[in-house]
């Protein structure tokens, strides 16, 4: 399928979902919270899914301080409101992401250890490789913390069953590419570096499998070359094609190696790899038409919160930064992270969209959420039951 064909399918899908039910593209008060479809959620990864662990780490770990979280009562998110982990959790019937592991009190930790809630081990700035993320919880450390958690959990004979039916969400890789650039590595080093990232990622997934994970949602690396921060040094303010090419190569190899590993050594693992890359680039490419179809995303290149060129010279919690008032119109909240409005549209796509957005199955298929044609809507419109 060509790029133009995929973009056309993508646009039709997003348009139909958004026109059929505004609740699919926003989190209004009319949204009904359904009974959760999995026992718990366990989250690992970087700032796209960190819900507050970094706020309990000393510098130099980055912290999501005000005005991060301005549109909610939630803290520790590197966006203006809900992040990807929150929105995935809401689609699974929870009100928000499970709590940050480092935020747990003795009382709330008891809920975790007695299998009443899951936990988020994600840490903003971390990566797949142990060398990525100064002062953060590395992916290896995050999995070690989950291992220690499981060793102390008491659910009777239900423990392994509860873990196997729970949802494991991972977002990682973008910061490893930032580290690649900071180390001054050349394009010739990229293939070996990407191969190391993927092989290490598969090792992490296998470690979770050994600990009982059987339902895995993976977020691939987004279009890192199109963030406002990546656009700043570009002469025309366009995307950094070299960075995007590395992300695409990583995403392709990741799919190949995960499929191979699941087939050979993780036979009971069900997984879905969500293409945040495809979703973001499709939304960018079609943003003018998307506005006409009420998607609400109008500002693509410029960050809502920050300062300097494209409002993306520094992170938005730094002194003398400003933030926009029309945040639902912006794709990016700061120099790196999308807005809640962008995340909302992305989660609809990875749950209910075609393989262009999640493969080999989408997130709804992964957890057994049915979809059906709602006859009160336009023909062909998918709506979550």
Please tell me the least confidently modeled range out of 2-11, 17-26, 221-230, 313-322: 17-26
pLDDT for the residue 296? 64
pLDDT tens figures, 313-335: 999 988 899 999 999 999 999 99
Please tell me the least confidently modeled range out of 11-20, 82-91, 106-115, 152-161: 11-20
Domain regions of the chain by residue span: 41-367
pLDDT for the residue 79? 98
Q: Is 47 a catalytic residue?
A: yes
pLDDT band at 43 (very low <50, low <70, confident <90, very high): very high
pLDDT for the residue 69? 96
How wide is the angle at C-alpha 22 spanned by C-alphas 18 and 26, nearest 5°?
100
Please tell me the least confidently modeled range out of 163-177, 211-225, 367-381: 367-381
pLDDT above 50 for 292: no
Cα–Cα dist 65/74, whole Å? 11
Mean pLDDT of the chain: 87
pLDDT for the residue 156? 81
pLDDT for the residue 112? 96
pLDDT for the residue 2? 53
pLDDT above 70 for 33: no
What's CA 102's distance to the chain center, in Å? 20
pLDDT above 90 for 13: no
Q: Which residue has the higher pLDDT, 329 or 287?
A: 329
Report the topology of domain 41-367: Rossmann fold (3.40.50)
For the chain, how long is the longest CA-to-CA vector? 61
pLDDT above 80 for 311: yes
pLDDT tens figures, 188-245: 999 999 999 999 999 999 999 999 999 999 999 999 999 999 999 998 999 999 999 9
pLDDT above 80 for 294: no
Tokens at 379, concatenated? 């023909």
pLDDT band at 1 (very low <50, low <70, confident <90, very high): low
pLDDT tens figures, 98-146: 999 999 999 899 999 999 999 999 999 999 999 999 999 999 999 999 9
pLDDT for the residue 297? 86
DSSP state of 338: B
Choosing from 10, 47, 171, 295, the catalytic residue is 47
DSSP secondary structure of 132-177: SSTTS--HHHHHHHHHHHHHH--BTBTHHHHHHHSEEEEE-SHHHH
pLDDT for the residue 286? 74
pLDDT above 60 for 10: no
Cα–Cα dist 236/231, whole Å? 8
pLDDT for the residue 157? 82
What's CA 254's distance to the chain center, in Å? 16
């Amino acid at each position: 399928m060509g790029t133009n064909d995929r973009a056309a399918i993508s646009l039709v899908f997003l348009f139909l979902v958004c026109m059929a039910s505004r609740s699919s593209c926003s989190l209004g008060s009319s949204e009904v919270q359904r009974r959760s479809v999995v026992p718990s959620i366990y989250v690992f990864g970087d700032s796209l899914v960190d819900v507050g662990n970094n706020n309990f780490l000393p510098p130099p770990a980055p912290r999501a301080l005000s005005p991060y979280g301005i549109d909610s009562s939630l803290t520790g998110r590197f966006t203006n409101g809900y992040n990807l982990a929150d929105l995935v959790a809401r689609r699974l019937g929870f009100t928000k992401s499970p709590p940050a592991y480092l935020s747990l009190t003795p009382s709330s930790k008891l809920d975790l250890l007695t299998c009443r809630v899951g936990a988020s081990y994600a840490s903003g700035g971390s990566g797949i490789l142990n060398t990525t993320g100064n002062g953060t919880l590395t992916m290896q450390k995050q999995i070690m913390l989950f291992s220690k958690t499981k060793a102390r959990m008491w659910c009777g004979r239900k423990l392994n069953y509860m873990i196997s039916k729970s949802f494991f969400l991972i977002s990682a890789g973008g910061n490893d590419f930032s580290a690649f650039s900071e180390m001054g590595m050349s394009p010739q080093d990229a293939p070996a570096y990407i191969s190391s990232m993927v092989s290490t990622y598969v090792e992490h997934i296998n470690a979770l499998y050994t600990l009982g994970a059987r339902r895995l949602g993976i977020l691939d690396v987004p279009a890192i070359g199109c963030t406002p921060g990546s656009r700043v040094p570009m002469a025309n303010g366009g995307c950094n094609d070299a960075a995007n090419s590395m992300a695409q190569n990583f995403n392709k190899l990741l799919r190949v190696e995960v499929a191979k590993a699941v087939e050979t050594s993780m036979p009971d693992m069900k997984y879905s790899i969500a293409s945040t890359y495809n979703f973001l680039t499709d939304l960018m490419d079609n943003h003018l038409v998307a506005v006409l179809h009420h998607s609400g995303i109008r500002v693509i290149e410029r960050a809502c919160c920050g300062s300097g060129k494209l409002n993306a010279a520094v992170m938005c919690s730094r002194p003398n930064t400003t933030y926009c008032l029309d945040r639902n119109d912006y794709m990016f909240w700061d120099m790196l992270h999308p807005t809640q409005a962008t995340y909302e549209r992305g989660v609809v796509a990875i749950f209910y969209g075609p393989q262009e957005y999640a493969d080999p199955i989408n997130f709804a298929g992964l957890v057994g959420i049915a979809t059906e044609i709602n006859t009160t809507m336009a023909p062909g419109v998918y709506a979550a039951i």
